[in-house]
Amino acid sequence: MDILKDIASEEGISEERLRRLVHSGRVVIPCNAVREDERIVRRAIGEGVSTKVNVNVGTSRDYVDIEEEVEKAKIAVKYGADTIMDLSTGGDLDEVRRRILKEVNVPVGTVPIYQAALGKRGERAVVDMTSDDMFNTVRQHAKEGVDFVTIHAGVNLNSLERLKRCNRILDVVSRGGAFLVAWMIHNECENPFYKEYDYLLEIAREYELTLSLGDGMRPGCIADASDRAKFMENIILGELVAVARDAGVQVIVEGPGHVPLDEIETSVRAIKHITNFAPLYLLGPLVTDLAPGYDHFVSAIGGAVAGMYGADFLCMVSPSEHLALPSIQHIKDGTVVTKIAAHVADLVKEGQRTRARRMDEEMAYARKALDWDKQLELAIDSEEARRIRNSRPSDSDACSICGDLCAIKMVNEFLKRKE
């Protein structure tokens, strides 16, 4: 396949190794059969390939501006997003999704339960949706070309029972998870995505749709990290991964939420083991609850550590997380910071360490040579680096922090004299 050949070359691994990883389910390549467009840049997510970044965009009931959400998606791709997810809950949900699919050239994901629960314009009561609403919405999104979907199939009566016994402070912070918890309690029924999982797999197989098994029980604060509800859901997701792989469906597993630094390794390694090393997609994890306005940094810290221990796919958290719908600037800032975290993880990640460190080495040599064009070219955010560099120029060939007193410049000159 040309796709495999191109991706293997991009990732710096052999095509044969990539093929084996995809066959085993340890790597997925979200690629809807319907979305046939030569512009689409396909991404490999999982073991041995570079850590990927997803960016969420989408309207809310309180703020609907389709053009702004499309612009957010474009900005995210410009600054390094590997995938985009549309999480819209306000306005014409079909129109937002179709515009994003049309405007970006990376894989696009959605959370169909939002539209199933709320209707096309977000007007229906959550508990009134039917099983048909759920599956028909998944099919609709797949038919339109969505590459991957979050499905909260691990939120079932079993994991709900564990939640009731956990004494959590914040019971459920996943929106899709909360929808299904409310629905199960109100209707006194099992989650249809779990009960009729085989039917979900039929839809996924028909459209080559990748399933991202949602973390509906993820902890929403540090005090709730690593409890029974979270791990019960992980066990269920591990079972669902095995069934999906047997059915020939690509699957990703989503992970926690808020986790202190010293619990990240245990969390990541446990989830990877329980799910037989399915690609792991994390929101953060956020390593403190005390930084509203700076949660993109909090998330990047956790994401870098999680990537070191095996996380494959980092979901961008914006500065406005927990506060408001993000602005275009917040999307840019969150994307860049998450891209940095992904590279930091790759510096120690098996299969990517050599390539990632070579990039840092290039920067080191450029700094030694005071080669500013090369330094700015290599920067993760070249635009911002150039803006800062130009804002306070130096009369020397160093920067304005030290000028002619630059340590690198001085030692370079004396070493040349010695020669």
Q: Do residues 302 and 286 touch, judged by C-beta distance below 8 A?
A: yes
The confidence score (pLDDT) of residue 186 equals: 96
> Is 180 exposed, middle or buried (CB count within 10 Å of its CB: 0-12, 13-18, 19+)?
buried
Task: Between 417 and 312, name the one with better pLDDT.
Answer: 312
**Mean pLDDT estimate for the chain:** 95
The predicted-structure confidence for 281-332, as pLDDT tens digits, reads as follows 999 999 999 999 999 999 999 999 999 999 999 999 999 999 999 999 999 9
Q: Do residues 230 and 283 touch, judged by C-beta distance below 8 A?
A: no
The confidence score (pLDDT) of residue 326 equals: 98
User: What are the residue ranges of helices labelled H in 25-122?
Assistant: 66-78, 93-103, 112-118
Q: Sorting pLDDT into bands at 50, 70 and 90, what band is 14?
A: very high
> What mean pLDDT is predicted for residues 248-260?
97
The confidence score (pLDDT) of residue 415 equals: 83
DSSP 286: B
Q: Where are the domains of the chain?
A: 17-351, 354-418
Distance separating alpha carbons of residues 375 and 370, to the nearest angstrom: 8
Q: Which two tokens stand for residue 5?
A: 């050949």
Kind of pairing between the strands at 251-255 and 280-283: parallel
Q: How many angstroms separate the first and last alpha carbons of the chain?
A: 54
The confidence score (pLDDT) of residue 413 equals: 86
Q: Do residues 214 and 154 touch, judged by C-beta distance below 8 A?
A: yes
Domain 17-351 carries which CATH code? Answer: 3.20.20.540
Q: What's the whole-model pTM score?
A: 0.95
The confidence score (pLDDT) of residue 322 equals: 96
Q: Sorting pLDDT into bands at 50, 70 and 90, what band is 1?
A: low
The confidence score (pLDDT) of residue 122 equals: 64
The confidence score (pLDDT) of residue 121 equals: 67
Q: 335 pLDDT exceeds 80?
A: yes
The confidence score (pLDDT) of residue 419 equals: 61
The predicted-structure confidence for 32-71, as pLDDT tens digits, reads as follows 999 877 789 999 999 999 999 999 999 999 999 999 999 9
The confidence score (pLDDT) of residue 206 equals: 97
The predicted-structure confidence for 96-149, as pLDDT tens digits, reads as follows 999 999 999 999 999 999 999 998 666 678 999 999 999 999 999 999 999 999
